[in-house]
């Protein structure tokens, strides 16, 4: 008579389904690297991010002058349903607020922050609660004040018109948003290439 009892090793051995979930989670946690060949390409990425945001997310932007940070924010605003034409870099006022979209957006620029006192006086922390989406340019000047779970986006010059862009998550919520962004980004890419071949060239890598 065949026993219905399972071996102890079978009970502790991970199933194929569990292994698949673990592998998918590990893959989605890796930095996502892209090459943007135009402002339109960077804008498209921003729109993909904006469309999948749920409210309350923080996005920290890093990169030198002219790397495309504000262009990316315009795309995020458009993805949220706000007018991208109204988005300008808040270098002198530190914070611009936009409430025309489906979620409120706070666009911050910490370029002129010189001390913890300067940072505190901006009222930055007050925006990290509720449904407001916060996007912070020059985030390296205020890292200590940012939420632990955030999306970090690093933009760098690659050539005269192209940029490297890397997205990485620092927690479960940001990891999920990046995964959703990748799906949305590729979906819009297929539509664009189908309607106007060659409009946007693209290179993507997912190596760690």
E strands, the chain, are 32-36, 58-62, 95-98, 105-109, 133-137, 151-157, 163-169, 203-205
- Tokens found for residue 164: 């490297």
- Tokens found for residue 103: 């979620």
Domain boundaries, position 178:
31-196
Residue 2, domain member (yes or no): no
Q: Could you tell me the CATH number of the domain that includes residue 165?
A: 3.40.50.300
Q: Based on the structure, what is the number of domains in the chain?
A: 1
Q: What is the pTM of this model?
A: 0.78
Residue 45, domain member (yes or no): yes
Strand partners, 59: 135, 151
Q: What is the pLDDT of residues 37-95, one digit of tens each?
A: 999 999 999 999 999 999 999 999 999 999 999 999 999 999 999 988 889 887 777 89
Residue 129, domain member (yes or no): yes
Q: The dihedral of CA 160, 153, 20, 184: what is its sign? A: negative
Residue 68, domain member (yes or no): yes
Count of CA atoms in the C-beta half-sphere (13 A) of 56: 7
* Mode of pairing for the β-strands spanning 163-169 and 133-137: unpaired
Q: What is the pLDDT of residues 161-194, one digit of tens each?
A: 899 999 999 999 999 999 999 999 998 775 444 4
């Amino acid at each position: 008579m065949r026993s219905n009892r399972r071996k102890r090793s079978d009970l502790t051995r991970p199933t194929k389904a569990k292994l698949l979930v673990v592998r998918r989670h590990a893959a989605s946690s890796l930095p996502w690297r892209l090459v943007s060949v135009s402002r339109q390409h960077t804008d498209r990425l921003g729109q993909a991010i904006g469309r999948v945001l749920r409210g309350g997310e923080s996005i920290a932007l890093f990169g030198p002058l002219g790397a495309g940070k504000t262009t990316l924010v315009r795309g995020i605003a458009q993805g949220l349903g706000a007018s991208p034409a109204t988005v300008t870099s808040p270098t002198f006022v530190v914070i611009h607020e936009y409430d025309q979209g489906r979620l409120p957006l706070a666009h911050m620029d910490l370029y002129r922050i010189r001390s913890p006192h300067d940072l505190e006086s901006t009222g930055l922390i007050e925006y990290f609660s509720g449904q407001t989406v916060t996007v912070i340019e020059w985030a390296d000047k205020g890292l200590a004040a940012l939420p632990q779970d955030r999306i970090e986006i690093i933009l760098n010059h690659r050539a005269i018109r192209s940029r490297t862009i890397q997205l990485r998550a620092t927690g479960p919520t940001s990891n999920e948003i990046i995964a959703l962004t990748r799906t949305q980004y590729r979906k819009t890419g297929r539509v664009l290439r189908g309607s106007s071949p060659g409009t946007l060239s693209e290179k993507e890598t997912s190596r760690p």
